[in-house]
Structure 1
Amino acid sequence: MTDNGDTAYRVREPGDAPDRWRIAVNGARDFGEWHLFDGCLAHFLVAVLNREGVVPAFPDDFPYPDVTPTFTPCGY
């Protein structure tokens, strides 16, 4: 979930092929509109944070120009 209330979900279909799962994003301001990204969560994050992938639900200037995105694995 973003700080704006947008939510990203992993679409686990087909169930027997996790390498084909996608990401779906639902905007906090427009609950009826969904954006689908063809790729795994890691590819989604890289594309969005590098401004290579645009998610209509996210603000136009996301990620914000004055912020350098970072990734910290949880350490499982």
Structure 2
Amino acid sequence: MKLVLYGSLSSKLGKELNIEVNGEKNLKEILEELSAKEPNLKPDNPNILVFVNDVEVSLIGGLSYKPKNEDKVLVLPVAHGGQY
């Protein structure tokens, strides 16, 4: 699968990664492994959004979805502010 990281998430791992998955691991397992190098990729982080082939992951089974090699997975940090 092609994993694309946006914003600050790409600082340690790079913007794009190609990961051979063959439908064996789900997104939660993949993010847990990557979080060893980039802690903000932890699957329980409420400040990231995950899309598979331009569809928000909650619409296709959540992080239990098992990506295929041809999938494109985007991970975006959520930016939100405080006072105005």
Higher strand share: 2
Higher-helix-fraction structure: 2
Larger radius of gyration: 1
TM over 0.5: no
Normalised TM-score (structure 1): 0.30
* TM-score normalized by the length of structure 2: 0.29
